[in-house]
Structure 1
Amino acid sequence: MTVKAILEQKGHDVYTLGPNEKLATAIGMLTEHRIGALVITNGDRKIVGILSERDIVRVIGKLGAAALDQTVREAMTPKVSICNENHTVNEVMEIMTRGRFRHLPVEKNGHLDGIVSIGDVVKRRIEDVEREAQQIREYIATA
């Protein structure tokens, strides 16, 4: 299964924020939408960073409540690993495991096209394993 198939099922919607917004605004969005990361983009959906819960905890641990007045740019991870719609579930799992993160933006033609989370990947992998097991059972039953 590919990232394209995942996005066809879950959609291409991604919560984004600009890099000059306040961290307090980002925290409000994460809370409101019950998500773990925001993709930080400029005006034309070009990815400039990602802000995860881990980034926020790191900044609050360092600055305390004053971190809420920081800009997203000061807290985000600017070097973002990305994938495209042709990556397989196994490739995405490898990228996430190697980078130790749970959200991977999908880029198409240099612009944000979606996001894949570890939950999306695990769900699809489980579906693949269950389908394979069913095929083996059917094969055995007809042999």
Structure 2
Amino acid sequence: MLIEQILKTKGGDVTIIKADHTLAEAARILDEARIGAVVAMNGDQLAGVLSERDILRQVARHGAYALQMTVENSMTRGVITATPQETIDQCLGRMTDRRIRHLPVLRDGRLAGIISIGDLVKWKIEEHKAEADAMAEYIKGG
């Protein structure tokens, strides 16, 4: 299954934040949206990804002061991305190898959506269930 299919079902909405916002603002956005990461943008260019873990690391290092720090100083740069034409297995492999939970999806260099490891696992389970159901029906009928 291709990432494009997941985006068609999930949608391409991505919660974004400006790189000059504070970690306190980012934490509020994550909490309100009930998500684990936001995409930081500079104009229409992907600047980085900020996750709950990034915020937690800064708080562990700097205490309450960390919440005044900017997203730009805390986000992951050099973001690993996916394309709509990649498979679930390709993206799961990349996420496992790189130990990341979120992949922004770029179409022609522009942000088209974001997928999480949870999204991919859900689709993988559904794929296996459909295969098992088809096999059971085949056995019953044959």
| Range of TM-score over shorter length | over 0.9
1:92 matched to which residue of 2? 91
Distance 1:117 1:23 in 2: 21
| CA displacement, residues 75-94 of structure 1 (integer Å, 9 cap, x when unaligned) | 10112100000111111110
What are structure 2's unaligned runs of at least 5 residues? none
Distance 1:32 1:103 in 2: 18
Letter in 1 for 2:30: L
Distance 1:108 1:41 in 2: 16
2:41 matched to which residue of 1? 41
**Matched residue count:** 142
2:12 matched to which residue of 1? 12
Letter in 2 for 1:111: R
Distance 1:117 1:83 in 2: 11
| CA displacement, residues 12-59 of structure 1 (integer Å, 9 cap, x when unaligned) | 000001111111110110011110000111112x21100001111111
TM-score by length of 2: 0.97
Distance 2:132 2:43 in 1: 46
TM-score by length of 1: 0.96
Distance 2:91 2:74 in 1: 25
Cα RMSD, aligned residues only: 0.8
What are structure 1's unaligned runs of at least 5 residues? none
Q: Tell me the CA shift for residue 142 of structure 1.
A: 2.2
Letter in 1 for 2:67: L
1:116 matched to which residue of 2? 115
